[in-house]
Structure 1
């Protein structure tokens, strides 16, 4: 009998607890707050990453475009291009930026693109073979490469390290971009003395 009364009392207590809604909001908030933090700081890291990636694309395009406007480039001109690239990266850390400008010659006999000159943080050696998108190479009706083709290559990369690192890896991501442009006023842009291909 006592056991039965104790069971009924426990059952009544359980029913009272079921109907008691005090503290439900606090429990729900405690369950949701970690997800809210991950979403907020994850969005912060991702949006900063996308912004830096966009700036890297603009920098590679900008330095290639600037170089392609000249007939002859001086070292001071190229230095100024890199100063502009640093300014374009504002407000992000410019010490992580690596920018390079190169001119490549498309050799019609070997059908390869080789570096004629290069300047920047990761400059290429003269004669280095680079990959050029095929749609940028001018060919005749028979599919042969036309002679005297030069392209300016602007490259930029940036080691993006997130503020929090909950969504983007804490070690960071290397964001890269490359852009080709054609010299606008002459067939090639002279750097130092000539455009002689390697």
Structure 2
């Protein structure tokens, strides 16, 4: 039996390319998996962000269509609007609907506010509105919604992200001209019309 020298063995080993693709795949697989999971998380987060914008728009629109709302009506609006979030978990959403009245001097203050999993605004609190919205002797429905998004895989995106929390405004479509300033507004039953903020 003839012995093959170490040099010839090494040259033969270097020329042998069997299993080369398998080694490359094993090296690239972890990087590909992390990239894939990260891409899935980013796409899901973008989808959730779009849903939060649609939720906020639905809150403002549904409220602005009413002439008056009872607390039960506001809860129905929250229920209807949060269905927009599906398939995301609605319990991670925070929603606030507020009626903001701008007096004759251009001061914008909260007339009433309702919330679900959020922080309602205090009656009479001053609100900063964009100049295009702050028209004297008018009112506006201001809706805000946010969503706490937690990535599924968490390899690339870690921790929770708060999406949304940007107000959307809608003018009352069927509001009542009431209050001391005879300002058209969506009235909440059991609450005095504004600009009387007492």
Q: Verify same fold: TM over 0.5.
A: yes
Q: Does 1:53 align with 2:49?
A: yes
* 1:112 to partner: Cα distance: 3.8
Q: Does 1:172 align with 2:172?
A: no
Equivalent residue in structure 2 for 1:25, among 17, 21, 40? 21
Structure 1 unaligned blocks of 5 or more = 1-8, 139-146
Q: Supply the distance in 2 between the matched residues of 1:53 and 1:47 (Cα, whole angstroms).
A: 10
Tell me the matched-pair count.
181
Name the counterpart of 2:8.
12
* 1:130 to partner: Cα distance: 2.3
> Is the CA contact 1:73–1:191 (under 8 Å) kept in the aligned structure 2?
yes
Q: Supply the distance in 2 between the matched residues of 1:39 and 1:11 (Cα, whole angstroms).
A: 42
Provide Cα deviations, 1:108-136, integer angstroms capped at 9, x if missing partner.
Answer: 53x44211100012211112222212222
Q: Supply the distance in 2 between the matched residues of 1:113 and 1:31 (Cα, whole angstroms).
A: 61
Root mean square deviation of aligned Cα: 1.9
Provide Cα deviations, 1:56-92, integer angstroms capped at 9, x if missing partner.
Answer: 1111100110111111111121010111123222221
Where in structure 1 do 4 or more consecutive aligned residues deviate above 3 Å? 9-14
Name the counterpart of 2:147.
158
Structure having the larger proportion of residues in helix: 1
Q: Supply the distance in 1 between the matched residues of 2:81 and 2:66 (Cα, whole angstroms).
A: 17
Larger Rg: 1
Equivalent residue in structure 1 for 2:68, among 65, 68, 72? 72
> Is the CA contact 2:101–2:140 (under 8 Å) kept in the aligned structure 1?
yes
Structure 2 unaligned blocks of 5 or more = 176-183
